[in-house]
């Protein structure tokens, strides 16, 4: 579905502060699989996601979606960031309707689809509310409904629940899994939270600072019980934590330069 072929990304090439964030990364993401990216701050997770989203271009190598090079953002890839940015001047319903109406669908159909997805994330009772009146978790639900309503083949999620309290986060994780079970979608999900990765992912990629960009690539049993208090969950969490423990805190640009990388 998505393939990175020898992808490197250097910010500010040719400048003294030029930094290789990704170096020769080759990765494939299979269709309808849920992959989590874990790794220390600054190791390039968001950079990788932005390349797939088409927001930035690789310095070398290719990023392909269904064998076609990605050169710009597209409706086939929905992106959810850490802080949901809703249009503050639109109601919840209109926020979700907006993307649909841009696709030229008729108004009634847009409303029906928007309501369906708001219902899915438990926000239909708040359809007429303004974003400012919502909590962070509620805004995040609307942002997810807005992306889902467009039915992207790929969802790119960058720490989408990290600003939420533990209970809301778990509820949204449950909802996200339920949504993924009901509708085929390929998810690439960045998190710093080992428990979140253990709970959500079918595959976990642990990233480290370049040049050890892909430090580990682990398949988790996809039919495992998704119970947060089960021994399997504790084992998975411990395994991921052990992988992370082998990484240094992210070396910054200065260290890369010192090492001549």
Ligand X SMILES: Nc1ncnc2c1ncn2[C@@H]1O[C@H](COP(=O)(O)OP(=O)(O)OP(=O)(O)O)[C@@H](O)[C@H]1O
Give the contact letters, 31-60, x = binds to ligand X (CB under 6 A), - = no: --------x-xxxxxxx-------------
CB 220 within 8 A of CB 239: no
Partner whose footprint covers residue 70, from ligand X, Mg ion, none (CB < 5 to 8 Å by kind)? none
Q: Sign of torsion, CA 96 101 107 108?
A: negative
- Partner residues linked to 79 by β-bridges: 156
CB nearer to Mg ion: pick between 21 and 149: 21
Tokens encoding 233: 């969950």
**Chain-centre distance of CA 96, in angstroms?**
19
Q: What minimum distance in Å lies between the beta carbon of 59 and ligand X?
A: 12
CB nearer to ligand X: pick between 35 and 47: 47
CB nearer to ligand X: pick between 150 and 250: 250
**Contact set for ligand X, span 223-242 (CB under 6 A):** none
Torsion of CA 240, 243, 249, 255, to 10 degrees: -140
Q: Does 21 bind ligand X (CB under 6 A)?
A: yes
Q: How many residues bind ligand X (CB under 6 A)?
A: 12
Which residues are at the interface with Mg ion (CB under 5 A)? 46
Partner whose footprint covers residue 41, from Mg ion, ligand X, none (CB < 5 to 8 Å by kind)? ligand X
CB nearer to ligand X: pick between 41 and 67: 41
Partner whose footprint covers residue 86, from ligand X, Mg ion, none (CB < 5 to 8 Å by kind)? none
CB nearer to ligand X: pick between 11 and 130: 11
Long-range pairs of 160-166 with CB within 8 A, sequence gap ≥ 24? 160/80, 160/81, 160/82, 160/189, 161/196, 162/82, 162/191, 162/192, 162/193, 163/82, 163/83, 163/136, 164/136, 164/137, 164/140, 165/137
The conformation of residue 26, written as its DSSP 8-state character, comes to E
- Which residues form the interface with ligand X (CB under 6 A)? 11-12, 19, 21, 39, 41-47
């Amino acid at each position: 579905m998505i393939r990175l072929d020898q992808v490197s990304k250097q910010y500010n090439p040719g400048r003294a502060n030029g930094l290789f964030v990704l170096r020769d990364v080759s990765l494939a993401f299979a269709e309808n699989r849920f992959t989590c990216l874990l790794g220390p701050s600054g190791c390039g997770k968001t950079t990788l996601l932005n390349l797939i989203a088409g927001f930035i271009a690789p310095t070398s190598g290719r990023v392909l979606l269904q064998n076609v090079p990605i050169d710009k953002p597209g409706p086939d890839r929905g992106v959810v960031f850490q802080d949901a940015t809703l249009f503050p001047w639109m109601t919840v319903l209109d926020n979700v309707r907006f993307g649909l109406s841009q696709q030229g669908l008729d108004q009634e159909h847009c409303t029906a689809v928007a309501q369906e997805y708001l219902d899915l994330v438990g926000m239909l009772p708040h359809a007429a509310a303004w974003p400012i009146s919502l909590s962070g978790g509620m805004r995040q639900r609307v942002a997810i409904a807005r992306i889902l309503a467009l039915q992207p083949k790929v969802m790119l999620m960058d720490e989408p629940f990290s600003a939420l309290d533990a209970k809301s986060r778990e509820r949204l994780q449950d909802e996200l899994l339920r949504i993924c079970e009901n509708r085929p979608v390929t998810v690439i999900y960045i998190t710093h939270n080992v428990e979140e990765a253990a709970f959500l992912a079918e595959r976990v990629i642990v990233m480290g600072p370049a040049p050890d960009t892909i430090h580990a690539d682990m398949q988790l049993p996809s039919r495992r019980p998704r119970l947060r208090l089960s021994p399997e969950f504790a084992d998975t969490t411990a395994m991921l934590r052990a992988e992370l423990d082998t990484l240094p805190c992210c070396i910054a640009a200065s260290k890369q330069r010192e090492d001549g990388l």
